[in-house]
Amino acid sequence: MPDSDKQQEAEIRALVYDFFAEECDIESSKLTDATNIIEELEGDSLMLLSLLEIVRKKYGLKIELKTLGKHLMRKPAATIGQVVDLTLKIVRHGDDIVNLDV
């Protein structure tokens, strides 16, 4: 993996962890990739949409909610690690995310 990709992945991982730490009022160090957002953090769709809005603004993306919804119906994101993967795909592929193999 090129260094720029690794850097971007680390940046997105930090963004996702910081987001859930603040939203759920929990120390970031207590979160892991296996943390279940709904069962352990009482997260919901509004939380995920808030994160997506931050990502859209930060990276200047135009991805549509309908596209994201289609992708999530095929591949749900239940854990922090899965949300990190999802966010990376959104940043790298935008609306083409729906055409990716899942």
Partner 1 sequence: MATTSLTWTSDSCRRLLSCGIDSERVARFRRMARDRSRFMPFVFTSSERSRCRRLPDPAVGLCASFCVKEALFKALGSPYNFTDCEFLPGRNLGKGSFALSPRFAADHPGVMPCVKILAPVKGQCTAIVYLLDAA
Residues lying near partner 1 in the complex (CB under 8 A) are found at: 45-46, 49-50, 52-53, 56, 64-66, 68-70, 72-73
CB of 102 to partner 1, least distance (A): 15
**Residue placing its CB nearer to partner 1 in the complex, 11 or 53:** 53
Residue 47 C-beta: closest distance to partner 1, Å = 9
Least CB distance from residue 72 to partner 1, whole Å?
8
Q: With respect to partner 1, which residue has the nearer C-beta, 10 or 49?
A: 49
Query: Is 34 in contact with 81 (CB distance < 8 Å)?
Result: yes
Strand partners, 79: 36
CA atoms within 13 A on the CB side of 90: 33
Q: Considering the complex, state which of residue 24 and residue 33 has its C-beta at the smaller distance from partner 1.
A: 24
* 3-state SS string for 38-86: CCCCCCCHHHHHHHHHHHHHHHCCCCCHHHHHHHHHHCCCCEHHHHHHH
In this complex, which beta carbon is closest to partner 1, that of residue 9 or of residue 75? 75
Cβ of residue 70: shortest distance to partner 1, in angstroms?
6
Query: How many other CB atoms sit within 10 Å of the CB of residue 30?
Result: 10
